[in-house]
Structure 1
Amino acid sequence: DTRYRSPAPQRRLCPLLLRFVRGNLLVLLTVSGVLVGVGLGMAVRPLGLSKAHMSYFAFPGELLLRMLKMIILPLVVCSLVSGAASLDTRSLGKLGGIAVGYFLVTTLIASGIGVTLAFIIRPGEGRVSSDKEPADSFLDLARNLFPSNLVAAAFRSVPVGSEIESMNILGLVLFAMVFGVALKKLGPEGEELIRFFNAFNEATMVLVSWIMWYIPVGVMFLVSSKIVEMEGVVLLVTSLGKYIFASILGHVIHGGIVLPLIYFGFTRKNPFSFLSGLITPLTTAFATCSSSATLPSMIKCVEENNGVDKHISRFILPIGATVNMDGAAIFQCIAAVFIAQLNNYELNGGQIFTILVTATASSVGAAGIPAGGIITIAIILEAIGLPTHDLSLMLAVDWIVDRTTTVVNVEGDALGAPERAESEEPLSEVKVEAVANAREMEETSPLVTHHTESQEGAPEAVESVL
Structure 2
Amino acid sequence: MLFRTSRIHAAAATALSKVSGKGRAITATLYIGALIVGSLIGFAGNTDINAVMDFIATVFTRLFSFIAVPIIAVSLISTLANLSKNSKGGSIFAHTIFYTLLTTILAALLGAVLFAVIKPANVPAALSSSAADVVTKYESLSYLEHIQNIIPNNLLQPFVAGNVLSILLVAAAFGLGIATMKESKNKEALISVISGFQELLFILIHWLINILPLGIMAFTAQLVTQLEAGIILGGLATYFGVVISSNLIQMFVILPLILLLKGLNPIKIARGMLPALAVALFSKSSAGTLPVTMASAEDNLHVDRRVSRFVLPICTTINMNGCAAFILITSVYLLQNAGIEIGFSTLLTWVFIATFAAVGNAGVPMGCYFLTLSLVSSMNIPVTLMGIILPVYAVIDMIETSLNVWSDSCVANIVNKTMQGKLPEEA
Same-fold status (TM-score > 0.5): yes
TM bracket (short chain): 0.5 to 0.7
Evaluate the alpha carbon distance shift between residue 323 and residue 249 of structure 1 in structure 2; reply closer, same or farther with a 3 A threshold.
Answer: same
Of residues 290, 294, 299, the one that matches 1:295 is 290
Map 1:72-91 → 2, pairs under 5 A: none
Evaluate the alpha carbon distance shift between residue 339 and residue 18 of structure 1 in structure 2; reply closer, same or farther with a 3 A threshold.
Answer: closer
Map 1:164-313 → 2, pairs under 5 A: 196=153, 237-266=233-262, 268-313=263-308
Of residues 414, 417, 425, the one that matches 2:423 is 425
Asked if 1:363 corresponds to 2:358, the answer is: yes
Q: Is the 8 A contact 1:335 1:394 kept in 2?
A: no
Deviations along 1:396-434, one digit per CA (max 9) or x if unpaired, are 211011111000000000011124464222499xxxxxx
- How far does residue 203 in structure 1 lie from its aligned partner after superposition? 7.8
The CA distance in 2 between the partners of 1:423 and 1:25, in whole Å, is 38
Evaluate the alpha carbon distance shift between residue 168 and residue 283 of structure 1 in structure 2; reply closer, same or farther with a 3 A threshold.
Answer: closer
Paired amino acid for 1:397: V
Of residues 398, 413, 420, the one that matches 1:403 is 398
The CA distance in 2 between the partners of 1:257 and 1:412, in whole Å, is 12
Of residues 22, 25, 36, the one that matches 2:58 is 22
The CA distance in 1 between the partners of 2:237 and 2:298, in whole Å, is 39
Aligned to 2:334: 339
Q: Is the 8 A contact 2:373 2:383 kept in 1?
A: yes
- Normalised to the residue count of structure 1, the TM-score between the two structures is 0.51
Three-state SS of the structure 1 residue aligned to 2:111 is helix
Three-state SS of the structure 2 residue aligned to 1:196 is coil
Of residues 311, 314, 318, the one that matches 2:313 is 318
Deviations along 1:223-247, one digit per CA (max 9) or x if unpaired, are xxxxxxxxxxxxx943311122111
* Matched-pair identity in %: 27
Paired amino acid for 1:196: N
Structure 2 portions without partners, runs of 5+:
1-45, 63-79, 124-139, 164-231
Q: Is the 8 A contact 1:359 1:380 kept in 2?
A: no
Q: Is the 8 A contact 1:285 1:410 kept in 2?
A: yes
- How far does residue 14 in structure 1 lie from its aligned partner after superposition? 8.5
Aligned to 1:118: 115
Evaluate the alpha carbon distance shift between residue 25 and residue 276 of structure 1 in structure 2; reply closer, same or farther with a 3 A threshold.
Answer: closer
Three-state SS of the structure 1 residue aligned to 2:387 is helix
Q: Is the 8 A contact 1:340 1:386 kept in 2?
A: yes
RMSD: 3.9
Asked if 1:372 corresponds to 2:367, the answer is: yes
The CA distance in 1 between the partners of 2:341 and 2:158, in whole Å, is 35
Evaluate the alpha carbon distance shift between residue 256 and residue 425 of structure 1 in structure 2; reply closer, same or farther with a 3 A threshold.
Answer: same
Matched pairs, number:
274
- After alignment, is 412-421 or 343-352 more displaced? 343-352
Aligned to 2:411: 416
Quick check: which one's helix share is greater?
2
The CA distance in 1 between the partners of 2:347 and 2:305, in whole Å, is 40
- How far does residue 313 in structure 1 lie from its aligned partner after superposition? 0.7
Paired amino acid for 1:22: T
Structure 1 portions without partners, runs of 5+:
1-9, 27-86, 127-165, 181-193, 207-235, 429-457, 459-466
Aligned to 2:22: none
Of residues 104, 108, 121, the one that matches 1:107 is 104
